[in-house]
Chains A and B, each alone.
Chain A
Amino acid sequence: MNNVVAQLQRQFHDYLVSLYQQGFLDNQFSELRKLQDDGTPDFVAEVVSLFFEDCSKLINTMSRSLERPENVDFKQVDSGVHQLKGSSSSVGARRVKNVCISFKECCDVQNREGCIRCLQQVDYEYKMLKTKLQDLFNLEQQILQAGGTIPQVDIN
């Protein structure tokens, strides 16, 4: 039983470290983990879930705004990018945030093609992160079910 827990904890640790190393997550994610405690064991999962819902909604509205080349609502797109940049930054979703930076630049010069490319990239990145974090949360659940505790992970 001990061995199983230790193994799972090792897996969890290594997986989380790899997410940081590969640039999916940045330090802000570890700030988020600090806010979770025994009283709020689902905080990170809830926040992350809210973030992905936001991504989905905002991508949809921005997609509609970019649809017709002769009538692009760049103001709306800019607002969407601003929100996405803010929330990805708060969650530590590094790659999503970086795409938003490029996205904003395209929006500022009203480059529709560029915006569409960035939109596609944001969509790809958030979905990729969603899968990765789902795997991470599954590992957490396995550890807890095996009677273990979630390891602290120091990325510095």
Chain B
Amino acid sequence: MGVVTESQFHVLAVDDSPFDRKMIERLLQKSSCQVTTVDSGSKALEFLGLRESNESDDPNATSTSPEVEINLIITDYCMPGMTGYDLLKRVKESAAFRSIPVVIMSSENVPARISRCLEEGAEEFFLKPVKLADLTKLKSHMMKPKLKKESEKPAAEVKPEIEEKESSVIEILTLHQELDSEQQEPVLSNNKRKSMEEVISTTDR
């Protein structure tokens, strides 16, 4: 395992609009990410190596780039055929890819849509136009899974939370993530319990 450097971050961006693809590609490049753009949910699944009808981790599944490790999927919500929500579901249902964070983008601020996506496991929901600051905030949040993979110490997870300036949304998502990972870490350290209590009191408005 090497050191986590910024240049290793590979993002798969999905949007049916060529204009929006150009925008998100540049935003991601400017945030020091490697980018692959595709114009549909089905192309995204193809790229990942997930056949439409095959959800299992099939070593024989055909894939255009089986060796590519995707660290993040960022997708538009409104797309013909497979929506961003559909893609999110497919990814989260897949044993092989459910750990990849998925971010949804939309030009429309529909609270029901946002909560539906977050409930399905989306990491974040960005309103378009997406800004550089959104991605910077996202990246610091994204480093967590990588840090977690490389060192199983619970204390490592607390640090990124402290770095967040606008912490309420991120804290909610952190709680969501932590609850998901409970089975992997049955023993809660004091640090983790305290941070969870902080999140609960913050959301208690």
Contact = CB atoms under 8 A, between A and B. Distances in A.
B17 interface: yes
A82 B80 CA distance: 14
A32 B36 CA distance: 20
Contacts of A146: none
B153 interface: no
A86 B20 contact: yes
Q: Give the interface SS of chain B, mostly helix, strand, loop or mixed.
A: helix
Interface residues of A, number: 19
Interface string A83-107: 1011101100000000000000000
B26 A86 contact: no
Interface residues of B, number: 14
B23 A86 contact: no
A43 interface: yes
Interface stretch (A47-55, A64-72, A110-118, A125-133): A47-55
Interface stretch (B61-69, B93-101, B126-134): B126-134
A34 B30 CA distance: 9
B18 A28 contact: no
B192 to A, nearest CB: 37
A118 to B, nearest CB: 18
B26 A28 contact: no
Contacts of A28: 129
B20 A35 contact: no
A154 interface: no
B74 interface: no
A31 interface: yes
B118 to A, nearest CB: 22
Nearest to A47: B22
B26 A87 contact: no
A125 B107 CA distance: 21
Given A47-B23, A90-B20, 9 more contacts: A28-B129, A31-B132, A35-B132, A37-B30, A86-B20, A86-B107, A89-B128, A89-B129, A90-B23
10 closest Cβ contacts across the A-B interface? Answer: A90-B129, A86-B107, A35-B26, A87-B19, A35-B30, A31-B131, A50-B19, A89-B129, A28-B129, A90-B23
Interface of A: 28, 31, 34-35, 37, 40, 43, 46-47, 50-51, 54, 82-83, 85-87, 89-90
Interface of B: 17-20, 22-23, 26-27, 30, 107, 128-129, 131-132
12 contacts: A28-B129, A34-B132, A35-B27, A35-B30, A47-B23, A50-B19, A50-B22, A83-B17, A86-B17, A87-B17, A87-B19, A89-B107
